[in-house]
A = this chain, B = another copy of it.
Amino acid sequence: MPLQNHHEILSVDDHLIEHPRVWQDRLPQKYREVGPRIIEDENKHHVWRYEGRNFPQIGLNAVAGKDPRDFGTEPVRYEDMIPGCYDPAARVKDMDLDGVKAAMCYPSFPGFAGRVFMQADDRELAELCVQAWNDFHIDEWCGAAPDRFIPMVMAPFWDIRASVKEIERVAGKGARGLTFPENPVPLGLPSFHTRHWDDLFSALEDADMPLCLHFGSSSLAPGFAQDAPFAVEISLFATNLMWTTSDLLFSGVLQRHPKLKIVLAEGGIGWIPYITERCDYTWERHRWYMDIDKETRPSELFRKHFYGCFIDDEHGVKNRHEIGIDRITFEVDYPHSDSNWPNTRRRAAQVLADVPDDEVEQMLSGNVRTLFNFGN
């Protein structure tokens, strides 16, 4: 049987749009003017202003509920968005409408993993901005409906010691997952092949908090050609997560951090069998002359550490046993253009038409409960 009424959906990848006062309500007085705030520009558009620069996209890709024929125009004022984008009470209603029990919501203005703060001039302010977002997210957003939102946080990734401190602070407040760049290298930070991140990964292990990697969060756009239509980039974003997967599998990180969990967001799952098989093939032939683990097959590491998620991936669902039912989660992607809201359940029922009940349950909610220790 396909999706049943009793099947709950716990989405590991949704998005919130920060309301205008997220930072103004939390930053110390001296930083209010230079910290993130919403202004109206000369075109009467709402834009974020931070450190003297304008950030024109308030709700990039916030198209929830639009007909695809109307995609392509971004909201320029909060009034252009449905309130569920920025108001947690309205979001809960939109989740009810869609039959979604709980959701983990990535940041918008800061980038999916806090890139804007990584690239800021004033590090002290940037660190306060990270803390403010985390407090907003846990206290205000998730606090509005603690049984409906899975708390996600970021950290000041330019400073490992401060990152560890922040992870410990927010773990105490109920944070369940850390959003981290799909790869730190394009952001000018050390790669997974250094020991640089070890203390951060250990802190995550101690807090039992997965590392959540959203495609595109490194700021790298996939594709060869600058003059390609945007469809090329959209269709290829999962290749970023393929790069991330191989990078981590051959990095030694997972051997040093046996309890680390990696959650890949919005990348789909249909590519996982090919990439893990190819990593094994490469490992079988090339491990001898490289400084990599010669004992553990990459696919074994994947099956122990990684989790993928899908929206609408028929090939992936068909091959779910090859991927591992316990590796698969589900996402809604509200309010972005990949989302099927408010028809998430209707579409999921089609994709899951041939899947047994217990497997639907595991992929749509069971794995997420265990992974994020949520709602058990």
Instruction: List residues of A whose CB falls within 8 A of some B CB.
Output: 68-73, 183, 185-186, 191-194, 218, 220, 222-232, 234-236, 238-239, 242-244, 246-247, 250-251, 268, 270-271, 273-275, 277-279, 281-292, 298, 312-316, 318-319, 322, 337-338
Contact = CB atoms under 8 A, between A and B. Distances in A.
Which residue among A193, A232, A279 has the maximum number of chain B CB atoms within 10 Å of its CB? A232
A278 B337 CA distance: 13
B278 A231 contact: no
Q: What is the total number of copies of this protein in its complex?
A: 2
A250 B231 contact: yes
A72 B289 contact: yes
Contacts of A318: 319
The 10 A-B residue pairs with the shortest CB-CB distance, nearest first, are: A72-B289, A270-B274, A191-B225, A273-B315, A183-B224, A235-B282, A239-B239, A185-B224, A271-B274, A68-B285
A247 B275 contact: no
23 contacts: A68-B284, A68-B285, A71-B285, A183-B224, A185-B225, A186-B224, A191-B224, A191-B225, A191-B226, A223-B247, A225-B247, A231-B250, A231-B292, A235-B250, A235-B275, A235-B278, A236-B242, A239-B239, A271-B274, A277-B313, A285-B338, A286-B337, A315-B319
Nearest to A242: B239
Contacts of A279: 231, 235
Nearest to A277: B315
A215 to B, nearest CB: 11
Contact of A277 (B246, B273, B298, B314): B314
Contact of A232 (B194, B246, B277): B246
A251 B227 CA distance: 10
Given A191-B224, A223-B247, A247-B228, A234 B71 contact: no
Contact of A244 (B191, B224, B246, B315): B224
